[in-house]
């Protein structure tokens, strides 16, 4: 997890159009450095990382939605492959197991565990919404986790992506599956 003392020392966002979810900011390079430390992956293409962390409230065109779409499938594939090779259960049971592993709560928890929720670019208006008062909502954290999966997949390939998932998705069911 990212050092929270260092996070607090970064200057607060002063731009009018975007903020980081927890008012952690600095230059994009500083944000990327913290996000890369959190994910355990160093991006060759920093634009992929920025896109994976950008909510549509900040940018209608360069936001995480397309990456989230791809990441959902890549994550599903990796989990399905592990279930297929590591279990002899029937298809219906495997489907249920996969759904438990890739649902909102485990993915949001994985994003929070590595502090991805602290690096999401959102508009001030979006952050001021009622659903945001207690921090980034589960659905937003899930979306950014899936977008991160896709960004790592596109930047480093399936093996890097699988390593990221194994490091971060630590539900009891997943740990039992990969152990």
> Which among 68, 72, 97, 117 is annotated as catalytic?
72
Listing DSSP states for 17-76 in one string gives S-EETTS----HHHHHHHHHHHHT---S-HHHHHHHTB-TTT-SSSSTHHHHHHHHHHHH
Query: From CA 1, how far away is CA 8, in angstroms rounded?
Result: 14
Cα radius of gyration (the chain): 16
Which one is catalytic: 68, 142, 146, 155? 146
Nearest to 20 by CA among 131, 117, 93: 117
State the Cα–Cα distance between residues 65 and 62, nearest whole angstrom: 9
Query: Is 72 marked active-site?
Result: yes
Query: Which residues participate in catalysis according to the annotation?
Result: 72, 146
């Amino acid at each position: 997890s990212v050092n929270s003392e260092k996070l607090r020392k970064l200057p607060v966002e002063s731009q009018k159009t975007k903020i980081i979810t927890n008012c952690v900011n600095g230059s994009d390079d500083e944000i990327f450095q913290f996000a890369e430390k959190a994910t355990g992956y160093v991006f060759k293409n920093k634009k992929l990382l920025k896109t994976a962390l950008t909510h549509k409230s900040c940018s209608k065109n360069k936001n995480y939605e397309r990456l989230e779409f791809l990441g959902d499938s890549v994550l599903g594939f990796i989990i399905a492959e592990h279930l297929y090779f590591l279990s002899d259960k029937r298809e219906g049971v495997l489907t249920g197991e996969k759904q438990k592993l890739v649902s909102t709560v485990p993915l949001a928890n994985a994003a929070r565990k590595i502090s991805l929720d602290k690096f999401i670019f959102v508009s001030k208006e979006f952050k001021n919404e009622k659903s945001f008062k207690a921090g980034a909502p589960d659905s937003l954290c899930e979306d950014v986790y899936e977008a991160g999966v896709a960004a790592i997949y596109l930047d480093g390939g399936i093996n890097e992506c699988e390593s990221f998932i194994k490091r971060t998705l630590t539900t009891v069911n997943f740990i039992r599956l990969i152990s």
